[in-house]
Chains A and B, each alone.
Chain A
Amino acid sequence: MNVASTQPQVGQTAPDFTLPDVYGTRRSWREFRGKRALLYMWASW
């Protein structure tokens, strides 16, 4: 959370990550390679 200086900006490549979905299946940002995608970050609170 302390990486403000390195956060990806418009014009830069979006960083890869892997996280489990709500059913526990691991999904990766790589799955969207070659596609236009909207990454939406939210919380249930």
Chain B
Amino acid sequence: MLSVAMDGGGVEKPRAFVEEFGVTFPTLVDASGLLSRLYGFHAVPNGVYVDEAGVIRFKLFTGFSIERTDAVAQLESLLATPLGNAPAAPAVAQQPFEIEVMLEQAAANGDDPALQLGLAEAYLQEGDNARAAEAFARSLELDSASANAAFGLGAALHRLGRTAAALDAWGRALRLEPDNFVIRKQIWRMKYPERFYPVIDYDWQQAQLAQEKAAEAQATV
């Protein structure tokens, strides 16, 4: 079991969850929406089950939960199948992110938004938020329709303490992908923290969504 929190606001909030509930499996933090891009989702919670050969055998996006008895039954039946001729598990290698290699590639292809995005994500993971912000901004310059670049830029700016600029970038990401709830909820989390702590106010979220959708529909008329 590997859990990934799609939290653009930093590691503190997911870490509090992990510690409060005594979670025993690794929990990673995806601040820039890397998995949204890899898997093409716009909301959570999501579940992907992979067999011993690394092949996806089950996928449920948006609404995956242990309370979904149909999903649990499917997973149980997959787990009950005998192990195949799975490749031997290799030694766990903590491969360093090769920023130098990415830098060379990005420099050689200065107009490739995907390379800039990869570089930006690497910087963000290294904790070099200033360079991450620069690379996300460059990627967004090269591909102004990339919600991922705008969202990542917001995450980097947020970590630099530039909250207003972060909200601007996330707002731009949301305008590019109005149906992306990872983005919309991240903005809410920043703007309306009282709606998320000590309890998450789902009624408020529904009302807020309806209000924002109406305003967005007006704006596009």
Q: Which of B1-21 contact A (CB under 8 A)?
A: 1-7, 11, 13-18
Q: Which listed segment binds A: B32-40, B128-136, B164-172?
A: B32-40
Q: How large is the interface on A (under 10, 10 to 19, 20 to 34, 35 or more residues)?
A: 35 or more
B59 with A44: CB separation less than 8 A? no
Query: B11 — which chain A residues lie within 8 A by C-beta?
Result: 20, 22-24
B55 with A13: CB separation less than 8 A? yes
Complex-state Cα separation, A22 to B41, whole angstroms: 22
For A43, give the chain B residue with the smallest CB separation: B6
Partner of B4, one of A35, A41, A45: A41
The B interface is mostly helix, strand or loop, or mixed, namely mixed
Q: Which of A10-24 contact B (CB under 8 A)?
A: 10-15, 17-24
Please give the distance in Å from B86's CB to the nearest CB on chain A: 6
Complex-state Cα separation, A7 to B56, whole angstroms: 12
Q: Which listed segment binds A: B46-54, B100-108, B154-162, B209-217?
A: B46-54
For B61, give the chain A residue with the smallest CB separation: A41
With A12-B55, A31-B92, A45-B189: A39-B50 Cβ-Cβ less than 8 Å: yes
Partner of A35, one of B30, B89, B95, B182: B89
Query: A35 — which chain B residues lie within 8 A by C-beta?
Result: 52, 89
Chain B residues packing against A (C-beta within 8 Å) = 1-7, 11, 13-18, 26-30, 33-42, 44-52, 54-59, 64, 75, 78-79, 86-90, 92-95, 97, 125, 127, 145-148, 151, 177, 180, 182, 185-186, 188-189, 196, 200
A-B contact pairs, 27 of them (CB 8 A): A1-B146, A1-B180, A2-B145, A4-B40, A7-B38, A7-B41, A11-B55, A18-B125, A19-B29, A21-B28, A22-B14, A22-B27, A26-B125, A27-B28, A30-B90, A36-B49, A36-B51, A37-B50, A38-B75, A39-B47, A40-B45, A41-B30, A41-B41, A41-B48, A42-B4, A43-B6, A43-B14
